[in-house]
Amino acid sequence: MLMAKDTQNTANGSDRILLTGATGYVGRNLLPLLQQQGRPVRCIARRPGRVLAGTDANTEVVVGDLLDPDSLALALAGIDTAYYLVHSMGSGGDFEALDRKAARNFAEAARTAGVRRIIYLGGLAHDDSALSPHLQSRQEVGRILLDSEAQVIEFRASVVIGSGSLSFELIRALVERLPVMICPSWVRTPAQPIAIRDVMQYLTSALGLPPGESRIFEVGGPDRVSYADIMREYARQRRLRRLMVPVPILTPKLSSLWLALVTPVLASIGRSLIEGVRSPSVVRDKSAMSVFDITPAGLAEAIRAALAEEDAQLAVQSFAKLADSHPAGPGHALSHSGNRILDSRTITVPVSRHQAFAPIRQIGGATGWYYGNWMWRLRGLIDLAVGGPGMRPSIRRPDNLNLGDRIDCWKVVAYEADHLLRLQAIMKLPGRAWLEFEVAGDRGSSTIRQTAVFDPKGLAGLLYWYVLWPLHKMVFGGMLNAIGKAGRARSTDDRQG
């Protein structure tokens, strides 16, 4: 861990750390780092099940709600240091009032429990600018936490660059969807974007600060850029051509209404974010550079790392877990994870896991795709016409699969016998596509999870997916049902044999 300069870690290694906001973006990134350092952590969450899957033996999870003062005493008992990483902006309604109430409840409970230090992440802005309600609330929370009588270490961060960061996802959505962007004056507001990994280093390094007075540290990357510059760099790395047309008339309010049309997933929080970007988020107080031994990454490196981290996570993460963490609405199979579109559906069959997986292992080639084979062949002909490989003969063993095997227009990128098959498309697409089958169960019953993931590239990728969505819906649903039927038939054949 990067320690604060010229200081000793005064915290006892056995002192338990409380983590609030463990299910939020920052908390999800911070918890694994604290666990890797061997620190005992206690997480407070309204829905503990969303946290437990990512914890180790040294981490406990308690039920609690910062809006319920009675639930905080147990959570804060024996706590030396607490991370305050909660925010109500995405909850709708009067988020300022909710944040105020939560901070007051927490400060009072922390004072009663004798908490020594609170580490808080807020937003970077200065009092001499017209602050938005969002930024006013962030700074008000920092002042309220001082009532705890603990040492409050407040980090005020500029735009956080990382997959899942609200600001980054907003920028990504605009660049991906709009070949021509009408840019109001607020896109020229200066900022010092900071990579999420550097934010994590500041948060963990704060544990090594000596006891003493409360401090506010302004943190940002080395590049002072506008929001338009961030968009251009993202477009460059994604190889997207984007035309930006500056106009003087779009106010943040009008921009937020336009945003709701372009990025409806972010519409509920977009206005609050846009109102906040009117205020420059640049570092004036550079004391963080002298206190912490951290060299933040520049904008290009931060975006590159965010995109690379997404690919790394996708390579090792179960698509089923990815879909579960970004659930679709009732009656829908589609959900979103960052820029990616997920189509995930399940079926339960009264057969063993081996029998349920057998049809999956034989998919493609002479067996076909169990549903709409003529559509798969037509798709292959279209791919050939545009210069792709088409539905070429499969290269695989008939009774098993190995990494790198080609199955028609797909390549095997992950395989576990009787459990998992993940395919990546090798056909020409305006984006990247994967198809995963995961089987779980026991001898008498198995659940087959089929998940298609599409990473669209720009507006062309989005149009491709949604224009073909009726066909995708029919093919994916029919394929899964046919695989389940084939598994039941396999079970019948095994019994008769």
Chosen domain end from 273, 303, 333: 303
Domain identity same for 60 and 123: yes
Domain identity same for 351 and 291: no
Domain identity same for 157 and 299: yes
CATH of the domain at 168: 3.40.50.720
Q: How many residues does the chain have?
A: 497
Is residue 5 one of the residues assigned to a domain? no
Task: Tell me the whole-structure pTM to 2 decimals.
Answer: 0.80
> What is the span of the domain harbouring residue 396?
317-496
Question: What is residue 310's predicted lDDT score, i.e. its pLDDT?
Answer: 82
Domain identity same for 157 and 284: yes
Domain identity same for 402 and 261: no
Of 18-27, 136-145, 257-266, 406-415, the least confident:
257-266
Residue 233 has pLDDT above 70, yes or no: yes
Residue 189 has pLDDT above 80, yes or no: yes
Is the CB of residue 430 less than 8 Å from the CB of residue 461? yes
Question: What is residue 284's predicted lDDT score, i.e. its pLDDT?
Answer: 94
Is residue 8 one of the residues assigned to a domain? no
C-beta atoms surrounding 373 within 10 Å: 12
Is the CB of residue 368 less than 8 Å from the CB of residue 479? no
Is residue 9 one of the residues assigned to a domain? no
Q: What is the mean pLDDT of residues 433-450?
A: 90
> According to the per-residue pLDDT averaged within each range, which of 175-179, 268-272, 322-326 is highest?
175-179
Nearest to 71 by CA among 102, 93, 40: 102
For the chain, the domain total comes to 2
Chosen domain end from 246, 274, 303: 303
Domain identity same for 120 and 240: yes
Q: Render the burial of 299-337: b for 16+ CB within 10 Å, e for the rest.
A: beebbbbbbebbeeebeeeebbebbeeeeeeeeebbbeb
Nearest to 323 by CA among 424, 418, 453, 434: 453
More confident residue, 269 or 314: 314
Is residue 492 one of the residues assigned to a domain? yes
